[in-house]
Amino acid sequence: TVANLCIAFWECLLSTWMVPQDSRAYMATGNVATCDTQGFIALVTFIVLELSYTILSILYWILVARGWSEKQTQRRQIRFCFLGVPLIIAICIAAPLLVLGNMNFTGAYSCFVEEYPLNCDIDPETNGECTRGHNARTAQEAIFFGVILCTGIILIFMGLLVRAVRAQESASDR
């Protein structure tokens, strides 16, 4: 919930206010530092959300299919895995991207992982010369692959959860 609120505030509510003024974005009043801040927070919360949903699907399966009790899930190790690990992984991914200058205006409504100037790596006018975010496309591909991987894991564990619930219902019907 905190991650959802954070991304709603920093990326959706503040949107183009954080974008540097020299961009063509509507109501852009920010600078490079505000864009870096928005992009970093948006990326961290996005990764935290993806990993939390993935861990939550695994936890639901463990509770139902493996019969764990509430007491077993309240242990500190489980709480750390659910709260701490996604945050640590997200910061470890986003911090290098921030330092390398990959947080730039995306051309839509906020700052995220993008090169600057926009599409400089494929625009013939710039001859592939980017001033910031030289490896942004690679980072975008890695983020996309991570989302696909997390979605696949969620689908697998939700399928296993449905199978376990059906098996329990069949056993109770008998």
Q: What pLDDT, on the 0 to 100 scale, is given for residue 60?
A: 86
The pTM score is 0.83
Q: Is the pLDDT of residue 82 over 90?
A: no
pLDDT-derived band at 126 (thresholds 50, 70, 90) equals low
Q: What are phi and psi of 60, to 5 degrees?
A: -60, -40
pLDDT-derived band at 143 (thresholds 50, 70, 90) equals very high
Q: Is the pLDDT of residue 148 over 70?
A: yes
Mean pLDDT of the chain: 86
- Give the CA-trace dihedral at 165, 170, 171, 173, to 10 degrees: 120
Q: From the CB of residue 159, how many other CB atoms can be counted at a distance below 10 Å? A: 12
Tokens of 134: 């030289």
pLDDT-derived band at 59 (thresholds 50, 70, 90) equals confident
Q: What pLDDT, on the 0 to 100 scale, is given for residue 13?
A: 81
Name the amino acid, one letter, at 115: E
Measured CA to CA, the distance from residue 101 to residue 108 in angstroms comes to 19
Q: What pLDDT, on the 0 to 100 scale, is given for residue 140?
A: 92
